[in-house]
Structure 1
Amino acid sequence: MIQLAVFDMAGTTIDDGGAVYRALAEAVRETGATVAPSDLQAWMGTEKHAALSALIILGGGTATPELIDAAYSRFATILAENYAARPPKPLPGIPETLTALRAAGIQVALTTGFTRAVATGILDGLGWRIGAPTADNTVSIDALVCGDEVAAGRPAPYLIHRAMERTGVVDVARVLTAGDTVVDVQSGINAGVARTVGVLTGELTAQDFADAGFSRDSHQRVSILASVTEIPAHMNDK
């Protein structure tokens, strides 16, 4: 039985209008490097300092520590401006799904490549909280794990394992994880969890996942679903 569901934020549970993609691309271009869409997609879902470093190098730049710090500062500024112009909102059906999972006794954790400051700002803007459910039906989660709180971001398994640590779940066979990028799926596999779900609410199509080697039949523990909202109905799939 699944005891913990670990979900990505932007593109998986939260609709940010593609703001992360735009901010990341703009921050890289401002360093003088080019950004290929395929490279940008490959590094989405990863910790953002690592993503900026890789993208700058792939785009012909030199990723010095000073440049990465400056690029991250610009990324954070651009993202904040994008979010101010178009605040993130829950993807359709997500609040109800998170509430239903917790009501069924399944803990819910969110993970992200953002820093803690950015991630908590998003949750505050949504009116979501970390902690026990409340009588006023405020959306709540059991844990939040951010990219600046682990040794390495996705595709490393540490975000998931830290979510297990914070929720007291010790058996990976009791964990399900979902995300909208290839590295989200790779992270779930690397973590050894019971179920890993790729969802189509972000920028990727089912064919994109298939091209990366992930389809419904590609891996015993991997599923591709339209949305996190479909997960409760597939919770006991083998």
Structure 2
Amino acid sequence: MIKTVIMDWAGTMVDYGSFAPVEAFRQLFLDHGIEVSADVIRKPMGRMKIDHLRDICQDESVSKAWYSIYDRLPNEQDIQTMYEAFEPKLFSLLEQFAVPVPGAVELADRLHEQGITIGTTTGYTRAMLDVIVPEAAKYGYKPDSVCAPDEAAAGRPHPWMIYRNAEQLGTYPMSSIVKCGDTEADMEEGRNAGVWTVGVVFGGNILGLTEQETSVLNEQDKERMFNEVAERLKKAGAHYVISEIGKLDEIIEQINIHTEAGEVQWQN
């Protein structure tokens, strides 16, 4: 039986479309004379933010643009300097992007009513979470455990944040835990921890659509987009993929059927 669900934050439970990090990174590179596309910024989403920055700098289009301006490739000192400028940009945006996505608070309430605890992992640092967590609580989202990558040995795709949550919540075995998120890094993190993994599409980073943009999609486009994103999440390790976060408890019911039948090995 599932005892704990470990949620991602941006793009899963808050910040529909995961826009806060995208805007902060976009502004950061513009300050250095480089226009970086949203697709390039979103590709490493879910990683600890300084690792995310390193990944963007390694993108071919970004490294070429950097070389054309500075006559060399970006190095670690550049990354450290840029990250110092990045944090204030992101902090200035976080509070306005802490609103829960539709269905998130109601889902959390249903999980708690069933006795399922809620933990969290993220690409945000603890200082960033210290802005997001109390703001989300104003809207009624109050997870039972919160862990940031700078409080563990390493961030995603490593499993350490999930293990920290499990320890804090007293949850074991790992087969009694579900990890839910909107990025490939979330799925890799969950698989590496040996837990069930569920990807979410609409409201998430890979699509990167606003709630308004999603609402005007026709059913054919929605189905096509869902299938495209689901394929990416499954390749990264998702056992299940849901269209929206409010459907997670339906998947938990299915997982419980597997575990009650003794099919724990099904997750591997």
- With normalisation by structure 1, the TM-score equals 0.83
1:78 Cα deviation from its structure 2 partner? 1.7
Spell out the pairing of 1:69-148 with structure 2 (5 A cutoff): 69-83=80-94, 86-127=96-137, 138-148=140-150
The 3-state SS of whatever aligns with 1:6 is strand
> 2:240 maps to which residue?
223
User: Does the C-alpha gap of structure 1 residues 51 and 100 become closer, same or farther in structure 2, counting only changes over 3 Å?
Assistant: same
Residues 115-148 of structure 1 deviation map (CA, whole Å, 9 limit, x = unaligned): 11111211112235xxxxxxxx954221001121
1:87 Cα deviation from its structure 2 partner? 4.4
> 2:193 maps to which residue?
191
Taking the aligned partners of 1:25 and 1:145, their CA distance within structure 2 comes to 26
Residues 29-61 of structure 1 deviation map (CA, whole Å, 9 limit, x = unaligned): 434555354432221010001111121132215
Greater Cα radius of gyration, structure 1 or 2: 2
Spell out the pairing of 1:203-222 with structure 2 (5 A cutoff): 203-204=205-206, 205-212=225-232, 214=234, 222=239
Taking the aligned partners of 1:175 and 1:145, their CA distance within structure 2 comes to 16
Amino acid at match of 2:171: V
Tell me, yes or no, if the aligned pair for 2:199 and 2:233 is still in contact at 8 Å.
no
> 2:31 maps to which residue?
30
> 1:55 maps to which residue?
56
Residues 151-195 of structure 1 deviation map (CA, whole Å, 9 limit, x = unaligned): 2211222221221121111311000011011111121112110x2
The 3-state SS of whatever aligns with 1:141 is coil
Amino acid at match of 2:229: F
**How many residues are matched?**
225
User: Does the C-alpha gap of structure 1 residues 109 and 213 become closer, same or farther in structure 2, counting only changes over 3 Å?
Assistant: closer
The 3-state SS of whatever aligns with 2:124 is coil
Could you tell me which runs of 5 or more consecutive residues in structure 1 were left unpaired when the two chains were aligned. 129-136
User: Does the C-alpha gap of structure 1 residues 211 and 104 become closer, same or farther in structure 2, counting only changes over 3 Å?
Assistant: closer
The alignment's C-alpha RMSD in Å is: 2.5
> Percent identity over the alignment?
28
Taking the aligned partners of 2:166 and 2:159, their CA distance within structure 1 comes to 11
Which structure has the highest helix share of the two? 2
> 1:45 maps to which residue?
46
Tell me, yes or no, if the aligned pair for 1:151 and 1:158 is still in contact at 8 Å.
yes
- With normalisation by structure 2, the TM-score equals 0.75
Taking the aligned partners of 1:114 and 1:213, their CA distance within structure 2 comes to 21
Taking the aligned partners of 2:94 and 2:108, their CA distance within structure 1 comes to 23
The 3-state SS of whatever aligns with 1:212 is helix
Tell me, yes or no, if the aligned pair for 1:98 and 1:108 is still in contact at 8 Å.
yes
Deviates more, 1:35-44 or 1:178-187: 35-44
The 3-state SS of whatever aligns with 1:112 is coil
The 3-state SS of whatever aligns with 2:241 is strand
Taking the aligned partners of 2:56 and 2:121, their CA distance within structure 1 comes to 22
